[in-house]
Amino acid sequence: MVKIDVNRQIDLGLTKAKWRYSGVPCGRNKPGTKRLASSHLNADGKVYDIRKGLKIGTRYVYPGEDEGCMCHSQVIIPGFDD
Ligand SMILES: [Zn+2]
């Protein structure tokens, strides 16, 4: 699902998006995911390349990709948002 969205956005000439933390801790009700929530909270507002995702820790991820992640992306419209 994430990949289809990304391809469509790239087709439209959009290459950047902003990570948006939902305000609900990611991965809640799951053990061992405190780190997920805090790293995603820190990612809030960060701009990333939608072809790669945002680097969190050692890997590139998209909002909503991790299990229990409630984050979402806000696509940046060139010349309008940047
Ligand atoms: Zn998240």
Q: Report CA(77)–ligand 1 centroid distance (Å).
A: 22
Domain ranges of the chain: 2-75
Distance 51 CA to ligand 1 centre (A): 18
Provide the sign of the torsion angle of the four alpha carbons 38, 34, 25, 81, taken in this order: positive
CA of 62 to the centre of ligand 1 (A): 9
* Alpha carbon of 20 to ligand 1 centroid (Å): 8
Task: Report residues of the chain scoring pLDDT below 70.
Answer: 1-4, 29-30, 32-33, 80-82
List of residues 6+ apart from 14 with CB closer than 8 A = 50, 75, 76, 77, 78
- pLDDT for the residue 1: 47
4 CA distance to ligand 1 middle (Å): 19
Q: How far apart are CA 17 and CA 27, in angstroms?
A: 22
Pairing label, strands 47-49, 54-56: unpaired
pTM of the model: 0.79
